[in-house]
Amino acid sequence: MSTHAPKGVGHLRGDRPFPAAAKVALADPQLRRNLQHATTTIRGKSGRVIAELPDWQELRSAGSALKAYTMANLPRLLEQLEERVTAAGGVVHWAADAEEANRIVTELVAATGEKRVIKVKSMATQEIGLNEALEGAGITPVETDLAELIVQLGHDKPSHILVPAIHRNRSEIREIFLREMPGVDPALTDDPPELAGAARRYLRETFLSTKVAVSGANFGVAETGTLAVVESEGNGRMCLTLPDTLITVMGIEKVVPAWQDLEVFLQLLPRASTGERMNPYTSMWTGVTPGDGPQNFHLVLLDNGRTAVLADEVGRSALHCIRCSACLNVCPVYERTGGHAYGSVYPGPIGAVLSPQLTGVEDNASLPYASSLCGACFDACPVKIDIPSILVHLRNQAPHPRSEKTAMAAAAYTMDHPKLYERAQRAAKAAKLLGRRGRGLPPPLNGWAASRDLPEPPAETFRDWWRGR
């Protein structure tokens, strides 16, 4: 069943179009400084470790081929994953959309009698608005990833796939901790080790006393039923091993065919994301192991618009994304506006192609235009997603005003008739009367020139030059 993510639940739709939100972000100089510093640092680290691998391009090609194979065989692989997880003592649930996923997880937690859960950083649970659903049922979710904790305590929204609090500097983080963190030392400074120490003390008791954890998954291996989470802080390892019950919410596109396929992705992901040779913590588990780790394991397989994306032959490669955020770190638009301007939990170039497809293009019609089409994202993507081509594809699907359609039809007709086109070229010289670079165009044409420069007409057209020779 190919349906889009439902409205009114989750975090895939913004409350205003990208141009309006970006205008607000561009007016915040502190935000731009924070973003420029963070993205420049990550780009530098990533570039250095990628340069160490002589076969990086071959690895990218292998990752792309594996993802294409997975999408072509997705139903079979998901059924195989379900079979293997069940055989290993886990329980698999299928969620068609965010509402069903939230209901499943909330009921599973409620069945344990617990009123608090610890969470591993998860884009899928942010996508469906799981925290809000749990809170509505009287259950307290506690984010344990440091950046996610900063966002949660600050009553904020994540603005980056990998570094959710990238829009905050350390002084702002200190103020959030002093204001929101119970038992924090009033003498806390903005020294990063001190901030991390305060978060560690705050979370330690929570880790040891909470019996239910909720996680996402970077990969699910169909061949073995193994789930994998990679992270840098160790909080994930605590959440995946200490509680009695573990509930994992995984997008259906995260499945990989075989254990050996992780060899490719575990080389690509850390280098493209955090600029590391390998992830500091790579946790894998297969079902339930008696006497070791969680004794109750539930896997929720989430659709929420993914089958609608899969149905689009051009757009489906957006599902290849491994959530590395490399495209965000090289994008000139993201670096200036930040993630909040996109209105979705998936910001940046990948968000501009994924969010509209999950929701239906009409619900995120401005996002395919949140790009200069420079192609840096395509070059940086470790699985070779051709984001610029998908952006153009989605622009063709986005609703266009009647006036724009009329203008484009007139332009096409003019260009298809040489004599008419020649007269239009002569008339273009009159554009000087409309102001520099089209700034004086009348409505609705001035909307086009608001974010683009109208080319200056040449003093002599090619046809005039040719006649003169």
Helices (H), 315-441: 326-330, 332-337, 348-359, 376-380, 387-397, 402-415, 418-428
> Which residue type occupies 24?
V
- Per the model's pLDDT, the better-predicted residue between 312 and 456 turns out to be 312
Q: What is the mean pLDDT of residues 318-334?
A: 97
Task: Dump pLDDT digits (tens) for 120-131.
Answer: 989 999 999 999
Would you state the pLDDT for residue 407?
81
Residue 456 above 80 pLDDT? no
User: What CA–CA distance (Å, rounded) separates 52 from 426?
Assistant: 56
User: What CA–CA distance (Å, rounded) separates 219 from 255?
Assistant: 6
Residue 151 above 60 pLDDT? yes
Domain with CATH 3.40.50.10420 in the chain: 18-307
DSSP codes, 301-315: EE-TTHHHHHT-TTG
Residue 2 above 60 pLDDT? no
Task: Dump pLDDT digits (tens) for 259-305.
Answer: 999 999 999 999 999 999 999 999 999 999 999 999 999 999 999 99
| Cα angle 393, 313, 382; round to 5 | 80
pTM metric for this prediction: 0.90
Q: Does domain 18-307 have CATH number 3.40.50.10280?
A: no
Residue 440 above 90 pLDDT? no
Task: Dump pLDDT digits (tens) for 25-62.
Answer: 999 999 999 999 999 999 999 999 999 999 999 999 99
SS3 425: helix
